[in-house]
Structure 1
């Protein structure tokens, strides 16, 4: 019994500490609003640390991953099929979540987070073409290092990784540098996130103390939408994917052998921790090892249906907080693009969802003060998101095995 409790606290310690910090900060904001002005600098320090750490982290994570891709041509068909399946299911999860938000609108609460601090510089009115150019490129290298140009920075990181991959033997020292830099920056972010309970607690105390208890009203409905929609997606969509991959027998085999991976995902909140049980389930589902051994490990980093759903919820919540309409075509198209990017890129980064939130804030030019709200959403949905992320890899492998055979 003690070992089970120790395992639970070990797996959930970060979430529990973060929730504890937020809870204490909320109480301070409610009952001692006169001191929240003194606490805000603590939250600002945390956000500044996060902003400065995320830029080099993204560069090394993306560039090292691309530079380490296996170039064996026999994997080309499998990898292209795998990426097609990943993309299809991520888009399906995002579109389904948009439908849920449309069906059960979060609404526009009377909370104005822009009053809690300075805004990011607002973008000037530009044509669609000018916006695309400004999102994907910059005119000077130093502009890449700004969080306001993350999309351009991510594209640059991909190009560096491809160049390192194609540089042959001469590029080996640089590839080793990318791998080492990735490990160093991952540990840096881990250290930064250790102060997240204090930083977010202080920031949330300021939010609650300045805009009042009505701030809490924004969280109940998004959580209901995410967990309700997540359960529908889990049972309905995964059954459809399993049927597409193996017919009725495929559906039965998938659900019969998906119990252990599901429990592992919920108990650990880690897609990486579910890989062994997913591989064992794939063997029992009769997925060829040559497929499962490629799709499932890569899927742990690149395939995240749950993250796609939470990304849409976060954007909708951020828009609701500042009173901007979410159900507009250009907003939804950009949301889909960001969701795909975040679901694929953030998988190999510790606390990668936070990188997605920074990217979202940058792309939509939202107030920095929206970050704590969407980070809290990300923390609250983590168990369900991990369940969808991790167990979705097995059903994706079933689909890949069917299409590769064809």
Structure 2
């Protein structure tokens, strides 16, 4: 019981705050608007911290790479597999959202803030670049700042010994702002509780139906992806035998993922499962640890669901071509960015809200959904790394990779 509380205490306290806020909103109605400034303060703290947090996280990660020690072939295939599975998850969820639209439950709960549409060319320019350096410090320029962070990281990497002091600064900044974000998130139960009380008090109990429908859609889509799509991936990797080996050895990683609610904590169980499946050590040792931070099928699904809910709350269509393409791009980016950051899902939500130009009021609904789907998201994120490693072994080693085992890569793929 103590371990359960330790692993889930963040979610438990957030849900407690949301529940208390809901009761207060139902009981007091529009009088609860007095609590809105508390929620606004929490959101402002998040928006303030997210820019330096993402900057240091990305630039320090790239600056800390070790050039010359790459398994280029494995890394190339790994990137393609990770990217492919995240896009499959996003497209599947997009279809589910179109078949079971969440906006049907939101007709009476549309938020009043308007989102000003801009031509697609202007959106792309503003999304990827800014005209002034100081504009990179705005949450509205998140993607431009991320691109700049990548450039800074590679510049520090190329500087070698001359850039050692700056690289240490990046690593130090990363650790400091991780702690800043952790400290701010301790206020989450109060901040989100206050904001949810405001939403329920102003818009009424129909919000519960909207969230329930969204959660039902997420868990149904996630269960289908877990059972059916993972089976397809395992079949691609090793036929019927691959499917049998994957599911036979996926029980412990699945239980670990749900029990800990952490992809990182599931890495040892995934490594053990990979060995039993027959994935070559050189592939498992590279793919599974990196997958723990970079490969997020479950987060891809939740990202689309959260976008659909926010669009519905603001009375916007979620089926135009430019919106869909940007949603897919944002989902891939969010899945990568959030991996190495504490409560990284919230950073992802900040990113897509800024990209689409939504006001701060769009954040609490996305955060609430992200909190409620976390167990299933972790299950998909973590166990998806093992089946991805199987496909990487298949594409680098050929059909006989399960028989070759750890000896299959003795010849010539490393550089």
With the length of structure 1 as denominator, give the TM-score of the two structures: 0.95
Q: How does 1:201-216 map to 2 (within 5 A)?
A: 201-216=193-208
Shift of 1:112: 4.2
Shift of 1:369: 1.3
Q: Does 1:167 align with 2:147?
A: no
Residues 332-381 of structure 1, C-alpha deviation per residue, up to 9 Å, x if partnerless? Answer: 11100000000011110111111111111111112321211111100110
Distance 1:277 1:304 in 2: 17
Number of paired residues? 397
Partner of 1:318: 310
Q: How does 1:9-48 map to 2 (within 5 A)?
A: 9-33=5-29, 35-48=31-44
Partner of 2:111: 114
Q: Does 1:125 align with 2:122?
A: no
Q: Does 1:286 align with 2:283?
A: no
Pick closer, same or farther for the CA change 1:79–1:70 going to 2, 3 Å.
Answer: farther
Distance 1:378 1:176 in 2: 33
Q: How does 1:328-343 map to 2 (within 5 A)?
A: 328-343=320-335
1:101 alignment partner, one of 81, 97, 104? 97
Range that drifts further, 305-314 or 72-81:
72-81
Partner of 2:403: none
Partner of 2:185: 193
Provide the secondary structure at the position in 2 that maps to 1:272. Answer: coil
Q: Does 1:158 align with 2:158?
A: no
Distance 2:66 2:337 in 1: 18
Cα RMSD of the aligned pairs, angstroms, is: 1.3
1:86 alignment partner, one of 82, 88, 92? 82
Q: Does 1:147 align with 2:148?
A: no
Distance 1:34 1:221 in 2: 24
Contact 1:111 1:322 in 2 (8 A): no
Shift of 1:306: 0.1
Distance 1:363 1:396 in 2: 29
Partner of 1:395: 387
Distance 1:18 1:264 in 2: 22
Partner of 1:379: 371
Contact 1:114 1:367 in 2 (8 A): no
Distance 1:165 1:123 in 2: 40
Distance 2:73 2:161 in 1: 26
Range that drifts further, 365-374 or 150-159:
365-374
Pick closer, same or farther for the CA change 1:160–1:74 going to 2, 3 Å.
Answer: closer
Pick closer, same or farther for the CA change 1:280–1:221 going to 2, 3 Å.
Answer: same
Provide the secondary structure at the position in 2 that maps to 1:197. Answer: helix
Pick closer, same or farther for the CA change 1:74–1:30 going to 2, 3 Å.
Answer: closer
Distance 1:178 1:214 in 2: 46
Contact 1:111 1:321 in 2 (8 A): no
Range that drifts further, 262-271 or 212-221:
212-221
Distance 2:166 2:396 in 1: 35
Shift of 1:113: 4.9
Distance 2:394 2:157 in 1: 30
Contact 2:257 2:263 in 1 (8 A): yes
Contact 1:262 1:391 in 2 (8 A): yes
Partner of 2:254: 262
Shift of 1:123: 4.2
Shift of 1:37: 2.4
Residues 2-33 of structure 1, C-alpha deviation per residue, up to 9 Å, x if partnerless? Answer: xxx00011111110100000000011111023
Contact 1:23 1:201 in 2 (8 A): yes
Range that drifts further, 242-251 or 66-75:
66-75
Residues 289-323 of structure 1, C-alpha deviation per residue, up to 9 Å, x if partnerless? Answer: 11101100000000000000000000001111122
Listed as ranges, the gaps of 5+ residues in structure 1 are: none
Partner of 1:72: 68
Residues 85-123 of structure 1, C-alpha deviation per residue, up to 9 Å, x if partnerless? Answer: 0000000000000111111111242244534xxx48x44
Listed as ranges, the gaps of 5+ residues in structure 2 are: 399-415
With the length of structure 2 as denominator, give the TM-score of the two structures: 0.93
Distance 1:8 1:33 in 2: 35
Partner of 2:223: 231
Q: Does 1:360 align with 2:352?
A: yes
Distance 2:122 2:309 in 1: 27
Residues 255-279 of structure 1, C-alpha deviation per residue, up to 9 Å, x if partnerless? Answer: 0000000000011110000000000
Contact 1:90 1:308 in 2 (8 A): yes
Contact 1:68 1:165 in 2 (8 A): yes
Contact 1:26 1:204 in 2 (8 A): yes
Contact 1:238 1:395 in 2 (8 A): yes
Distance 2:337 2:9 in 1: 25
